[in-house]
Amino acid sequence: MSQKNGNTDTRYTFKIFRYNPDVDAQPYYDTFVKSYPRGTTVLEALLNIQETEDDGIAFRFSCRSAVCGSCGMLVNGAPVLACRTQLATLIGDQVLIEPLPNMDIVKDLVVDMKPFWESYRRVEPWLHADSGNEPEKERLQSPDDLHKLDPYINCILCACCYGSCPVLGMEEDYVGPAAISKLFRFMQDSRDQRGEGFLAKFNNQRGLWACHTIFRCIDACPKDIRPTDTIEALRRRLVAYRFKKFFRLVK
């Protein structure tokens, strides 16, 4: 422990993942020992280490306010946003910082988000409305219908759930929890016209049926969205739709 400006700082040992595929044969870890006051976030510590110790450390960040989702990474094995994770909340004084899994390394803590965004686009995450029947001003929605969306509209696409999902470690073509949650958000929207038939695109082992319901995505989400719940809800809607379609055919 050390004294600084009248405050008690805690001494932390940071072990940071390093890997540049263009020059490094294998990943490795760099260790830095630094002291920080209570309230310091992991991102603030990384920025300080980058400024004072090694300006070559690569990581993403932007808003610093848990809004943009850029700074998703593993801290002591847990997928978190570095900007909202305070060092004081971690157990002990050892801080292991690694990139999110299930994506290739670009450099150090920066991962290639291309597969995440490709999966996201597969669910067509926009409002599907009848063309040729556009309102003059806006598509109105009642407060009650809007309230139904409240638990699902806060996703910031940080990919923490994507990185935590064990299925993606085995099935890289799985659309993933973030994309399915976004699909559920739009299918819950009273203004969306795509209907249950749209779910047929995901009636396979790369879509709705890939999830093993291990719930890691729920633990990982920094916005308290429950992706597993949305997957289960869409499964039920798909099964109900197919039963209705079957009974219409046999009548």
- What is the pLDDT, as a whole number, of residue 249? 61
Query: In the structure, what pLDDT confidence band is assigned to residue 8 with cuts at 50, 70 and 90?
Result: confident
- Alpha helices per DSSP H over 92-211: 114-122, 143-149, 160-164, 177-187
- What is the pLDDT, as a whole number, of residue 136? 82
Find the distance separating the first CA and the last CA of the chain, reported in whole Å. 78
Domains, the chain, with CATH or none: 2-111 (3.10.20.30), 114-250 (1.10.1060.10)
CB atoms inside a 10 Å sphere around CB 81: 27
The β-bridge partners of 75 are: 78, 97
- What does pTM read for this prediction? 0.90
For the stretch 164-173, pLDDT in tens is 999 999 998 9
Query: In the structure, what pLDDT confidence band is assigned to residue 208 with cuts at 50, 70 and 90?
Result: very high
CB 186 within 8 A of CB 126: yes
Q: The tokens of 159 are what?
A: 């990919």
What value does the mean pLDDT take over residues 187-201?
A: 92
Strand extents, DSSP E, the chain: 2-4, 7-18, 28-37, 72-75, 78-81, 94-98, 105-107, 110-111
For the stretch 77-115, pLDDT in tens is 999 999 999 999 999 999 999 999 999 999 999 999 999
Q: Residue 140 has what DSSP assignment?
A: -
- What is the pLDDT, as a whole number, of residue 6? 45
- What is the pLDDT, as a whole number, of residue 160? 98
